[in-house]
Structure 1
Amino acid sequence: MCQTELRETRIEIAKYSIKRAALRIQREKRQRDDPDEDTNAETKRALKHVKDMVLDVSKFGDDRPLTGCSLSRDGKILATCSLSGVTKLWEMPQVTNKIDVLKDHKEHATDVVFSPVDYDCLATASTDRTAKLWNIDGTLLQTFKGHLDRLARIAFHPSGKYLGTTSFDKTWRLWDINTGIEILSQQGHSRSVYGIAFQQDGALVASSGFDSLARVWDLRTGRSILVFQGHIKPVLSVDFSANGYHLASGGEDNQCRIWDLRMRKSLYIIPAHVNLVSQVKYEPQEGYFLATASYDMKVNIWSGRDFSLVKSLVGHDSKVASLDIAPDSSCIASVSHDRTIKLWTSSGNDEDKGRETMDIEL
C-alpha cells in the first residue's frame, strides 16, 4: 500500500475510533451518575447466569482435532475449523444441520472468526500461510497472501473493514478485506506472533507471542505503545475488556494476566489452569466475566470485577483449543482436540441440566 493510501486508512480508523470512544465514555458516565443504574446488580445477574451454565449440546465436529470456533453476530450460526483444513458452519442453538463446508485451505485450519458487522461474512486462517474471507453460502471472497510462515490467530477490526493476522514469521499484519491489500506489516516480537485482539473502540490492537510478551499497538500511528512483560512462557491469547483499558492474556505458564493500560502494568494474576491457557475471552457487552480455555480440558469462568472463579465447565476429554461467547452471553461454545463441539447454556430444560447429550459421529 502506498503512503497516501496508508495515511487515508489511518485517518479513517482515527475518525471511527473517536466516535466509538466518545460513546463508550458517555455510557460509563451515565452508568456512574444515573441513580437507576445498578452496575453491581447487573454484574451479579450476569455471574449468576454463568454459574447456572451446564453442558447442553455435545457433538462431534470433525474427524480431526478442532482448532477454532466462532459465533455469528446474531448467534444463529457457529463456525468451527480443524486440522483437516475444513471449516464447517452449524445451525444454532442445537448445533445441527451443517449449513455449509468451506474447503480451500491446503493445510491445517488454525482459526475462524465471524465479522462483527456483516452477518454473512467470516474469515479463516491456515498453516498454508494464507487467510481467507468467505460468505456463509460457501463463496470464497478474498485470499490474503503475504505471510512467510504459517498463520496462528486472526481477528476482525470492529469496523469489519480490516482483518488482523498473526504468523510464525514474527509479524502481525492488517489487511483491507475489500481489496485484499496488506495495510500494515508489524515487527516487534522477537519470536512467533500468536494472539491478536482489537480494542472495541478500534484505535488499538494487542498482539502476543512466543517471546512471552503482550504488545499494544496504536493503529493510527502504526507504533507499539505498550509492552507488557510478566509471562514466563509463550503468550497464546489476548483480549480487551469492553471498558477499553483492561487487557487479558493467557499462555503456556498456565496463567491469565490482567493488564491495565492506564497504569501500564499488571493488575491481577490469575492462576487459571494446571496446563497452558489456549484462549482468553471477555464477555463482549460489558466485560462482566472472562472465560479461559485450557489444555487441562476445562473452560473456566472468572468474574470481570474481582477475577474470582465463578464456574468450571468440565466435559471435554482432551485439550480445549478455543471458545467463543454469544453476543448476548446466552451460551458459550468450546471446541477441543477430542473433536467435539460443546455448547454450554443456562437455558436448557431442567431435566437435561447437568447431563451430557450423546456425542454423535458424523
Structure 2
Amino acid sequence: MASYDLSMNRRATALAVPTNDIAVRTRLSLLGEPITLFGERQMERRDRLRTLIAKLDADGQLETLINAHEQELEETTTMAATAKEADEFYTVGSKQLLEARKFIAKFSIRRASNRLQRAKSMRDDTLPALNRAATFVLDASEIGGDRPLTGCSFSKDGNFIATCSLNGNGGIWNMPQLTKTCTLKGHTNYATDIAFSPVTDIVATASADQTACLWDVKGTLLTTFTGHADRLTRIAFHPSGDYLATASFDNTWRMWDINTATELLLQEGHSRGVYGICFHPDGSLAASCGLDSRALVWDLRTGKNVLALEEHVKPILGIDFSPNGYQLATGGEDNTCRIWDLRKKTSVYIIPAHLNLISKVKFEPQQGYYLVTGSYDMTAKIWLSRDFKLVRTLFGHEAKVTSLDISGDGQHISTVLYSYDRTVKLWRSSKVSPEEKSMDID
C-alpha cells in the first residue's frame, strides 16, 4: 500500500496540469468531478486535479476517459456545425441574377482601378477641397409643397434637384433658381425617398404604398416596382445605373433590374425594418441599416453578408459609403455618427454629432473630403473626413431636417436640405479667398 501511494505521488508530480484556474475547473468538469470544494483555493484545486489524473492513469482508466470525452466533444462540435448550417440557407437565384452578379464583378474591377488612379492624382489637391467645406452659405430657399418634404436628390450634371413629399408627389426643380419644372404624381400614399440615376436623367421614388416608381425629368411614369409587403423607406441606384435597391419595413431590401423592371434579389438578414440602403462607389458592395440597430455589408458578387456592424445602441437611419472605398458612415437615433473602416472591420470614429436623431449622412462625392449629417435638431453639419472635425453648421431650418444631398461637380459643392418647414434650401460653397487657400486646417 505504501509503495502504491509513493508511486501515485511520483505520477502526480510528473504530470503537467493547467495553471489557469478556469482551465482547471473545465478539466475537473470533464472528469465528472466537482469544479470546487468548500473552502478550496486555486492551488489546492490544481493539486486535486493532478492527484485525480494520476489515480486514473495508474488504474488504466485515463486513456479510456480521454477518448470518451474526445468523442463527446466531436459530437458536440458536429451538432453545433449542423445547427449553424441549418441557420444558413440559400435560395436558388434566377439566371438574370447570375448575369447581374457577373456584370457587377466586371464593373467593380474597372471602377476600383479608376478610383485608385483618381485618388493618386488628387492626393495633392486636398487643401482647397477642405477649405471649401467651411464656406457654405445659404443661396436659395423655396416652399416645396403643402406637406413636409421627405427626400431629395441632385441629378448627375447638377442641373436638376428632385424632391418628394408626404402628399405622395415628387417634384423636379431647375438649378440654381429652384423653379419647379414638373410634378411626379402616381403614388397612392406618402413618398419616403427620391433618387436620381447616376448615369441618366431618370428619377426613382419610394412610397408607403409599398411600391417604387421610375420617372423621366418631364414627369412621365416609366415603371412601377411591386413586391414589398410593407412601406418602403430609402432607395439607391447602383453606380452602373442598371439596378435599383429598395429598403422596406418588411425587414428586407430588394434589387431590381431597371431595364427589364424585374426583381433580381430579395435580401433578408435584418430582424426589424430596413431603413437605409447604399452602394459602394465601385458597385461591388451594398450596405443596409435598420431599426435593429445593425448595419450589414453585402457582397453583390457572391450574395454573402461579409460584415455586421453592431455598435449603435438605437436604430440606424442613415448610411453612406465614402468615395475613398474603405470608409462607411452610419447615423441614427442615438444622435451619433460612426465612421467604420472596412479594412479593420470596426468603427474608428464616434462623432457625437447632434442633439437629436440623425436622419441622413452623405459623403462629398468626389473623394469624400467631408461628410454632411442632417438631424432633427434643425441643423446640418459638415465634418472634415481627415479627422472628422466640425467645420460648419448650417442653420436656417425651422424644424426637423429629414434628408440631404450633395451635388457631384467637385468644385462648387452644393447641399440641399429638406425639413419639416416644407422648404427646399440650397447651400452654396462661397469663393475661397487667397487667405483661406493658404491657411492650414488642423
For normalisation by structure 2, the TM-score amounts to: 0.75
Q: Is 2:154 the partner of 1:71?
A: yes
| Residue among 246, 266, 281 paired with 2:362 | 281
Q: RMSD value over aligned CA atoms?
A: 1.4
Shift of 1:2: 5.6
Deviation at 1:43, TM superposition (A): 2.6
- In structure 1, C-alpha distance between the alignment counterparts of 2:222 and 2:403, rounded to whole Å: 25
SS in 1 for 2:354: coil
8 Å CA contact 1:112–1:124 kept in 2: the answer is yes
| SS of corresponding position for 1:6 | helix
Query: Per-residue deviation at 1:27?
Result: 3.0
Q: Over residues 58-77 of structure 1, what are the superposed CA-to-partner deviations in whole Å (9 max), with x where a residue is unaligned?
A: 11101100000001001010
CA contact (8 A) 1:184 1:222 kept: no
Aligned residue identity for 1:204: L
- Summarize deviations over 1:42-94 as a string: whole Å, max 9, x none: 33212221211111111110110000000100101011101000101111002
Cα distance in 1 for residues equivalent to 2:403 and 2:265 = 26
1:111 aligns with 2:202: no
**Shift of residue 38 of structure 1?**
5.0
* Runs (4+) off by over 6 Å: none
Q: Which residue of 2 aligns with 1:6?
A: 97
Match of 1:131 in 2: 212
The amino acid that maps onto 2:104 is: I
Match of 1:149 among 220, 230, 241: 230
Structure with greater contact order relative to length (CA < 8 Å, sep ≥ 6): 1
Q: 1 CA distance for matches of 2:225 and 2:396?
A: 36
Query: Does residue 1:228 correspond to 2:309, yes or no?
Result: yes
Match of 1:326?
407
Q: In 1, Cα distance between the equivalents of 2:314 and 2:429? A: 35
More helix by percentage: 2
Among 162, 168, 171, the residue aligned to 1:88: 171
Give me the identity figure in percent: 59
**1:180-259, aligned counterparts within 5 Å?**
180-259=261-340
Larger Rg: 2
Unaligned runs of 5+ in 2: 1-91, 432-442
Instruction: Tell me if the contact between 1:47 and 1:310 (Cα under 8 Å) persists in the aligned partners.
Output: no
8 Å contact from structure 1 (residues 72, 78) kept in 2: yes
Per-residue Cα deviation, 1:117-172 (whole angstroms, up to 9, x for no partner): 00x21100000000001111111111110000000000000000000000000000
**Partner deviation per Cα, 1:269-302 (whole Å, 9 max, x = no partner):** 0001000000000000100000000000000000
Instruction: Pick the aligned partner of 2:183 from 81, 84, 101.
Output: 101
Native 8 Å contact 2:94 2:264 kept in 1? no
Deviations 1:192-216 (A, max 9, x none): 0001110010000000000000110
> Quick check: 1:85–1:108 contact (8 Å CA) kept in 2?
yes
Instruction: Say if 1:38 and 1:192 are closer, same or farther in 2 by CA, change over 3 A.
Output: closer
Aligned residue number for residue 434 of structure 2: none
Q: 2:378, 2:399 within 8 Å by CA — same for their partners in 1?
A: yes
